[in-house]
Amino acid sequence: MTAGTRPTVVLGHVVTPTTSGTDGLLDIPSGAVAHTDGTILDVGDVQDVLARYPGALVEDHGDRFIVPGFVDAHVHYPQIGMIASPGLELLDWLERFTFPAEARFADDIHADRVADFFTDQLVDNGVTTACVYATVHPGSAEALFRQAQRKNLRVITGKVCMDRNAPDDLLDTPSSAVEDSVALLERWHGVGRLEYAITPRFAPTSSDAQLTALGELAASYPDVVVQTHLSENTAEIEQVRSLFPGTRDYTDVYDRVGLVRRRSVFGHGVHLSDRELRCLGQVEASVAHCPTSNFFLGSGMFGVARAQSVTGLRVGLGSDVGAGTSLSPLATLGSAYQASRMLGAPLGVGQLLRLATLGGAEALGVEASVGSLEAGKDADLVVLDPSGPQNSAMLRNRVDGAETLEEILFATMVLGDERAVARTVVAGV
């Protein structure tokens, strides 16, 4: 603690996963989180924490829940304006809605305006860490970096790379993709809480030459995140098979060029084979589970329990807006539960909360800094108030009748949304 800095102690019902590796939750009904200079100092019983920090500023949230800041492991900020575009499967949906929306980001003023709105929405929904897709335009990534820096969010993003199978005004080349990525990476990576992500959109929109070039780029920056899409939709998988003859499967398209590694974050993974899951697990790669998007586009249901049974494989939660239907991790968790129930392996409350917090942090490789309320981590936390008057009458009525922590949190995930977020603290602010 910096000399003279007065810590803040936040009081409430503390609920957090821990780095012990279990699906259980640390539950402190009369709890407190002390923080200063953007870092958590202490977590524990209110009387103990207050005794250790006499003279601290105190924020008392009564019996409201204090949970870690949420982590969105897969989201497209340029698509926020086209959320809830109707009626098509993935490939047609991209052509009709996504590509025209993304073409507008050639305008830097438009990009900055959307980035400002998007980052405000993250905060409103309690999301303090996000792995985000921009567009092919370098200015789109610049805009998001600027707005995230202004709000001190932990954002990982990069310009999208694609050199085929998209409109001409959204294409780059293998060389320009690398040059633009390096310029952005050198300017923004490691600035505050910002990181760069090498971002081929997905295999169908990148040539062999581009994927190879991006693999070489990834080898030059071994600690940088790689983000892309994998095995989302059956028609997409068939397209990949025809575009990359001789590869064993979709995952092999990325693996053979060095894009499958620790801190590679693959969106969806709905139709992965056992071999592909083992391949990802062997290098501690990650899958971002995007259930609202998977339902909305009819892509299928990702099996969290099946994936988590694979040694080394990391799984986080992704909103995948705009195919996803909400930036709220609570709403996304409700869909994650439904998918797990349909697959015969329903997720418990502890598993669900972990998926949206520490699981997501692990998937992105930032678990040393965020994902749980523990001393030494960033002071990212959310105050949840599911019984507050701003929520739906249905949620308030259910919470009023609940008898256990599990019932309350589960109802909040199934019936709640951003209205249940009473306060978001981003790096102590």
DSSP notation for 314-344: EEEE---TTTSS-S-HHHHHHHHHHHHHHTT
Average of pLDDT values for 154-162? 98
Cα–Cα separations (whole angstroms), residue 161 to 26, 201, 264:
41, 6, 15
- What is the overall mean pLDDT for the chain? 96
Q: What's residue 88's pLDDT?
A: 76
Q: Where in the chain is the domain with CATH 3.20.20.140?
A: 70-364
Q: What's residue 3's pLDDT?
A: 47
Amino acid symbol at 13: H
**Tokens encoding 200:** 């081929």
Q: Which of 140, 155, 121, 141 is nearest to 326 (CA)?
A: 121
In sequence order, what are the beta bridge partners of 229?
Answer: 267
Q: What's residue 4's pLDDT?
A: 54
* Residue 21 scores a pLDDT above 60: no
Tell whether pTM > 0.85.
Answer: yes
The pLDDT tens digits of the residues spanning 318-355 come to 999 999 999 999 999 999 999 999 999 999 999 999 99
Torsion sign, CA atoms 364, 117, 97, 127: positive
Q: What's residue 120's pLDDT?
A: 98
* Residue 76 scores a pLDDT above 70: yes
Please, which residues have CB within 8 angstroms of residue 6's CB and are 6 or more apart in sequence? 36, 55, 56, 57
Topology of domain 70-364, CATH: TIM Barrel (3.20.20)
Kindly write down the DSSP assignment for every residue of 15-77, as one continuous string: EE--TTSSS--EEEEEEEEEEETTEEEEEEEHHHHHHHSTT-EEEEEEEEEEEEPEEEEEEEG
* Residue 103 scores a pLDDT above 70: yes
Q: Where in the chain is the domain with CATH 2.30.40.10?
A: 8-68+372-425
Q: What's residue 1's pLDDT?
A: 45
The pLDDT tens digits of the residues spanning 362-409 come to 999 999 999 999 999 999 999 999 999 999 999 999 999 999 999 999
Average of pLDDT values for 172-199? 98
Please tell me the distance from the alpha carbon of residue 413 to that of residue 329, in angstroms, as a whole number: 8
Q: What's residue 23's pLDDT?
A: 65
The pLDDT tens digits of the residues spanning 403-425 come to 999 999 999 999 999 999 999 99
Q: Which of 147, 170, 149, 168 is nearest to 160 (CA)?
A: 170
* Residue 22 scores a pLDDT above 70: no
Q: What's residue 2's pLDDT?
A: 47
CATH H superfamily, domain 8-68+372-425: Urease, subunit C, domain 1 (2.30.40.10)
Average of pLDDT values for 244-260? 97
The pLDDT tens digits of the residues spanning 105-125 come to 999 999 999 999 999 999 999
Taking a C-beta distance cutoff of 8 angstroms, is the pair 170, 201 a contact? no
Average of pLDDT values for 63-83? 97
The pLDDT tens digits of the residues spanning 117-150 come to 999 999 999 999 999 999 999 999 999 999 999 9
What is the DSSP pairing of strand 421-425 with strand 39-45?
Answer: unpaired
Q: What's residue 89's pLDDT?
A: 82
* Residue 43 scores a pLDDT above 70: yes
